[in-house]
Amino acid sequence: MAERISFSATINGQKIGPMDLPQDLMMVELLQEYLNLTGTRLSCGQGVCSACTIIIDDPDKGSYTVPACVTGVTWVNGRTVRTIEGIAGRDDQGNPVPSPIQMAFLEHFAFQCSYCTPGFVNGATALIERLQRQPIPSDQVEAAVLEALDRHICRCTGYVRYYEAVRDVILSTPGLTTDGPGTDVTAMQEAGQ
Ligand code: FES
Ligand code: FES
């Protein structure tokens, strides 16, 4: 019989636990079977396809992604997590408002069956948040998108519309590139950049 742990975490802004859990439980099982957060998809179950991607919010490193199918609750214990259910914003009435990435995927018709979509949304969201911390030149955006989403497998669409949607969000959002919208060109020239 598996050893058990006392598990606590913050998931989508809500304190969870303490819960008594098997210590070999994977995050995808916790989310789906204990917390009824079924948006995180299980596909390969081996850390290969990224369908189950969730976001860890680290106060020191910033946000980054992990595959929930091979990430144990023991490792997540005490951490802060976002799943696909925590990505949309809320309007004044509390209704969900799609994030810019979610909106771009809709506008670009980026998905078909959508099984891979929560993983793509979380992967792209973590990329956007990394660029908020560390903007890059716009001529490096294409490569950054490919690198960030390279491990996400989609069996339907051929990827192009996902990549185009993420690229468009990055290039049109102030602060994500060093030479894009909102860049203070004069300040950069004065700084010799
Ligand atoms: S289901 Fe987790 S990486 Fe494929
Ligand atoms: S849209 Fe069907 S697997 Fe990606």
Q: What are the pLDDT digits (tens) for 91-148?
A: 999 999 999 999 999 999 999 999 999 999 999 999 999 999 999 999 999 999 999 9
CB of 50 sitting under 6 A from ligand 1: yes
CB of 155 sitting under 6 A from ligand 1: no
CB of 31 sitting under 6 A from ligand 1: no
More confident residue, 61 or 189: 61
For position 182, what pLDDT does the model report? 67
Query: What's the predicted TM-score (pTM) here?
Result: 0.93
Select 4-86's CATH number: 3.10.20.30, 3.30.450.40, 3.30.70.100, 2.90.10.10.
Answer: 3.10.20.30
CB of 67 sitting under 6 A from ligand 1: yes
Which regions of the chain carry the CATH code 3.10.20.30? 4-86
CB of 87 sitting under 6 A from ligand 1: no
Q: Is 56 helix (H, G, I), strand (E, B) or coil?
A: strand
Tell me which residue has its CA closest to atom 4 in ligand 2.
154
For position 12, what pLDDT does the model report? 97
For position 192, what pLDDT does the model report? 47
Mutating to test ligand 1, I would choose from 26, 29, 43, 155 the residue with most ligand atoms within 8 A of its C-beta, which is 43
For position 110, what pLDDT does the model report? 96
Half-sphere exposure of 81 (CA within 13 A, CB side): 29
- pLDDT tens-digit series, residues 15-60: 998 999 999 999 999 999 999 999 999 999 999 999 999 999 999 9
For position 158, what pLDDT does the model report? 77
| CATH homologous superfamily for the domain 89-172 | [2Fe-2S]-binding domain (1.10.150.120)
For position 193, what pLDDT does the model report? 45
- How many Å apart are CA 141 and CA 164, to the nearest integer? 11
Question: Which ligand has the shortest distance to the CA of 118?
Answer: 2
* Ramachandran class of 53: left when φ > 0, alpha when ψ lies in -120 to 50, beta otherwise: beta
- pLDDT tens-digit series, residues 77-100: 999 999 999 999 999 999 999 999
The one-character DSSP state at 30 is I
Contact 127, 144 (CB under 8 A): yes
CB of 43 sitting under 6 A from ligand 2: no
Which regions of the chain carry the CATH code 1.10.150.120? 89-172
For position 59, what pLDDT does the model report? 92
For position 180, what pLDDT does the model report? 77
Question: Which ligand has the shortest distance to the CA of 45?
Answer: 1
Tell me which residue has its CA closest to atom 3 in ligand 1.
47
